[in-house]
Amino acid sequence: EHDQYCYLCHDGGQFLFCCVSCPHVVCDHCLGVCWQLASKVCAADVDFHCPCCHELEDHAAKHKLTPYFAFTCTIHAKGVSMLDKPTIVAGICKGASKSQVYAELTLILHLSCKGMDTTGCLPLLLKTALEDYHMKDCLEYVEVTFDFRTDSKLSRWKTKRAKLGRELVACKFQHKIIFVTVHSEITRGDLFAGKNAQGGNMAMEVNEFMKCLFGLSLERVVYESTLFMLTCGPLVAFQDSFLAMKQTISRLQPEYTIAFTAPNFLSTVLKVFVVSYCMQVLIQGHSFLEVLHDLLDVAPELHMHTDVLLFDIKGLLSPPVVDSPSMVGYRYSWYHSYRQLWGTALPISCPQCGAIRPWSKSKGDPEGCHPKAQVSRCQSTGCNSIVRSKPLHDVYEIVHSDNTSGWVWYTINGAELL
């Protein structure tokens, strides 16, 4: 399918020309096509090649630059230009040359536990960012509050869940983004499902919670979606809850699942991240995994607040298959030579002398228990306090780094814990 907006100006003139080699479309305004030529270049037997594809052909010819003839027709198996002169592109590319500008049918589903404050929430921000590119019938925003901790409430939730599932499955969404906003219990990582008969907050084990939340009704909606778990770090900090979460992901098979490690997670630090995700992934069509580092870089409030966990399920098929495709887990940790060694934050105060931010730039630790261990020393006069750190996991890669800071991209093996 072709884009819905000109990839050069993101808007468009009177006509949009569809490239025969890629999804790009370009408007007549950016191509400088006057109305006198419109009937000629809009003929059914005329092929249009976008500037991006022409540029790629020039690069394939080892930088042999050629004039750009946008409109051709095939005569005796040879492409012949429909215009006497090369096309002079009047527009300016406002995005990456590989990016698209496409507004596919998109679902934003927000499931929040009763009692959670959703004012100014991330799903609503994502909806607002997408509205400039979508018609009303191409963007579906659904916000649902759940509370199923008693038998009667669970029965009502199942009825509501079944109706919602039927309505959403009937729509063939190209993008499905699901947010779950819920508290996690601080001693076990269980997730809160609502209030009991006495009005107290009650939590469920992760597997049971996710089965009650989605059930069979919404499982088809979750399949191939992007699932954001907006909850605090205990969900992934404890062995039982973390393994249960991974089992649930394997069963539900969302394409991507994102979770966070901060003990007291603040979703507000993700606002810039969400807007960038909207533009780069949902509108421009980049792969989420390929641009995730860029999304993290533009959200400075996120850096020291939390690590980001991403679970990626590869090889998903439609319809779903019984055999679970392979799942790979990644942990993105920000590091800083003076503040956050290998993704582990240094204390603001020296625990020995009380100085504020006294730490030296980290160096290799000859006495460390790991080949890549780092050590940072308190620079306060007379204080010999040191802090040691090592990589959080065995398999990692340092990305988007400079001499002081960057991201450590850890790979989490199947049975590995955080």
Task: Give the domain ranges of the chain.
Answer: 1-102, 106-325, 335-412
Residue 313: both structure tokens together = 């399920």
| Cβ 227 vs Cβ 254: under 8 Å | yes
Q: For residue 384, what pLDDT is reported?
A: 85
Q: For residue 208, what pLDDT is reported?
A: 96
Q: What is the mean pLDDT of residues 221-230?
A: 97
pLDDT band at 17 (very low <50, low <70, confident <90, very high): very high
256 strand-pairing partners: 226, 312
Residue that wins the pLDDT comparison between 377 and 369: 377
Q: For residue 34, what pLDDT is reported?
A: 83
pLDDT band at 416 (very low <50, low <70, confident <90, very high): low
**Lowest pLDDT segment from 79-93, 346-360, 402-416:** 402-416
pLDDT > 90 in the chain, percent: 55
What's the first-to-final CA gap in the chain, in angstroms?
A: 41
Q: How far is CA 67 from CA 38, 88, 192, 388, in A?
A: 21, 9, 63, 60
Q: Cα 237 from chain centroid?
A: 22
pLDDT band at 206 (very low <50, low <70, confident <90, very high): very high
Q: For residue 99, what pLDDT is reported?
A: 60
Q: How far is CA 54 from CA 49, 67, 68, in A?
A: 7, 9, 7
Q: For residue 369, what pLDDT is reported?
A: 81
CATH 1.10.3470 assigned to 106-325? no
- What are 85-124's pLDDT values in tens digits? 999 998 777 665 556 667 789 999 999 999 898 888 999 9
Q: pTM of the predicted model, to two decimals?
A: 0.83
